[in-house]
Amino acid sequence: MMSPFTVAIDGPAAAGKGTISKAVAAHFDLAHLDTGLLYRAVGARMLQGEDPIAAAQNLVAGDLENTDLRTAAVAQAASKVAVIPEVRAALLDFQRAFARRSGGAVLDGRDIGTVICPQAEVKLFVTASAEVRAQRRLAELVANGFDTDFDTVLSDVKTRDDRDMTRADAPLRPAEDAVVIDTSELDVQAAIAAAIEAVSARKAT
C-alpha cells in the first residue's frame, strides 16, 4: 500500500484507544503512534523542572522510552501542558508526517481526526462511561504495581477529561465524520472487532 492511509482514533482518558490502536495496526499492517506519549513525555520533563514549551521543542525519541510515563502524576501533567498552544504546535509536524507516511498509520489521541489529520481515511471515536474507564485504568495501574483506589482514579479521569474538552486549542471532541464506538458494554475482543469492522468498511469504499 503506497498511498497514505490514516486511521485516526480519538477519545477520552482510558477509553481503550491504546489496545484498539495496536490491534488495528497489527491487523492492517500499519505503523502506530500513541500521541498521548508525546504529551506525557513533555509533562514528565515539566515535572523535572523544565519549561514545557522548551521541552516540547526539544523532545527526542529517548524521551518516549522513559518508563515513568504511565503514572497518574504524569497523566495530569500531560493534560496541563496539552493546554499550551506552543506545546501543541511544536508536536504538530512530527504527528502530521507520521500520519501521512507511505504504508499507512494509526494514530491515537484527542485531536487526530479534528486537527492533526482531518483528511484521515478512517476516524474512530472510542469512548465509555467514566466509571467503566476508571475501573479499567485502576486494573491497569494495580497490575503495574501502583497503590491507588477507584475514587482517586475516577476523579483523575474526570479532571483530565474536563481539561481536555474545555481547552481553547484542539479540544477533545468527535470529528463530524467519526464512527463512535462506545465500549462500556464491550469486552476487549468485541471492541477490537468493532474497530476492525469500521476500518474495513471504509477501506472497501
Closer by beta carbon to ligand CDP, 34 or else 199: 34
Query: Taking the complex as a whole, how short is the minimal distance between the CB of residue 196 and ligand CDP, in angstroms?
Result: 20
156 binds ligand CDP (CB under 6 A): no
How far apart, in whole angstroms, are the C-alpha atoms of residue 75 and residue 80?
A: 9
List 21, 109, 178, 194, residue binding ligand CDP (CB under 6 A): 109
Q: Are strands 122-127 and 6-10 parallel, antiparallel or unpaired?
A: parallel
* Residue 31, SS3 per DSSP: strand
6 binds ligand CDP (CB under 6 A): no
46 binds ligand CDP (CB under 6 A): no
The closest of 45, 6, 11 to 126, measured between CA atoms, is: 11
Q: Are strands 6-10 and 31-34 parallel, antiparallel or unpaired?
A: unpaired
List 46, 78, 126, 198, residue binding ligand CDP (CB under 6 A): 78
Which spans in 72-125 are helix H? 72-81, 85-99
Interacting stretch for ligand CDP, rule CB under 6 A, among 55-63, 108-116, 120-128, 144-152? 108-116
40 binds ligand CDP (CB under 6 A): yes
32 binds ligand CDP (CB under 6 A): no
Interacting stretch for ligand CDP, rule CB under 6 A, among 12-20, 45-53, 98-106, 141-149? 12-20
Buried b (16+ CB within 10 A) or exposed e, 55-67: bbeebeeebeeee
